[in-house]
Amino acid sequence: MTLLIPSLSANSAPEQTATPAADGAGQQQMEQGAYLARAGDCAACHSAADGQPFSGGLPLNTPFGVIYSTNITPDPVHGIGQYSFEDFDRAMREGVARDGHHLYPAMPYTAFAKVSASDMQALFAYISKGVKAAPTENRDNDLRWPFSMRSLIAVWNLLYLDKGEYVAKAGQSAQWNRGAYLVQGLGHCGACHTPRGIAGQEEAYDEVKGKRYLFGALTDTWFAADLTADFGTGLHGWTKDEIADYLKTGRTARSAAFGAMAQVVGASTQYLRDEDLTAIAEYLKSLPPASGLTDAPTAVAAATTTSALRAGTIGSRGAQLYLDNCNACHHSDGAGALRTFPSLAGSEIINAPDATSLIHIVLSGSAMPSTKIAPSAFAMPDFAWRLSDQDVADVLSFVRSSWGNRAASVVANDVGRLRQTTAKK
Per-residue pLDDT at 295: 64
Instruction: Say if strands 142-143 and 65-68 run parallel, antiparallel, or are unpaired.
Output: antiparallel
Task: Please report the pLDDT score of residue 49 as a whole number.
Answer: 84
- Ordered by where they begin, the domains of the chain are 25-159 (no CATH), 174-284 (1.10.760), 302-423 (1.10.760.10)
Dmax over Cα atoms in the chain, in whole Å? 70
What is the structure's pLDDT at 154? Answer: 94
Nearest to 131 by CA among 95, 81, 77: 81
- The answer to whether 263 and 10 are in contact (CB under 8 A) is yes
Question: Which amino acid, 110?
Answer: T
pLDDT of residue 240: 97
User: Can you tell me the distance from the alpha carbon of 282 to that of 274, in angstroms, rounded to the nearest whole number?
Assistant: 12
Report pLDDT for 300. Answer: 55
Q: Distance between alpha carbon 175 and the CA centroid of its chain, in Å?
A: 23
Check if the beta carbon of residue 279 is closer than 8 Å to that of residue 183: no
Cα–Cα distance measured from residue 49 to residue 381, given in angstroms and rounded to the nearest whole number: 22
Neighbour tally for 8: CB within 10 Å: 20
Asked whether 361 and 410 are in contact (CB, 8 A), the reply is no
| 17, 34 contact by CB (below 8 A) | no
Q: What is the pLDDT along the chain (425 residues), one digit of tens a residue?
A: 333 333 333 333 444 444 444 567 789 999 999 999 999 999 999 998 888 999 998 988 888 889 999 999 999 999 999 999 999 999 999 999 999 999 999 999 999 999 999 999 999 999 999 999 999 999 998 988 888 888 899 999 999 999 999 999 999 999 999 999 999 999 999 999 999 998 889 999 999 888 899 999 998 889 999 999 998 899 999 999 999 999 999 999 889 999 999 999 999 999 999 999 999 999 999 999 887 665 665 555 678 888 889 988 888 999 999 999 999 999 999 999 999 999 999 999 999 999 999 999 999 999 999 999 999 899 999 999 999 999 999 999 999 999 989 899 999 999 999 999 888 66
Q: What is the pLDDT of residue 297?
A: 54
CA distance 68 to 62: 11
CB 368 within 8 Å of CB 258: yes
User: Angle at the Cα of 96 (from 91 to 99), degrees rounded to 5?
Assistant: 105
Buried-state track 156-165, b at ≥16 Cβ within 10 A, e below 16: bbeebbeeee
Query: What are the angstrom distances between the C-alpha of 341 and each of 147, 330, 345, 381?
Result: 43, 6, 12, 12
- Nearest CA-CA partner of 190 in 200, 198, 199: 200
Q: What span, in angstroms and rounded, lies between the C-alpha atoms of 247 and 264?
A: 9
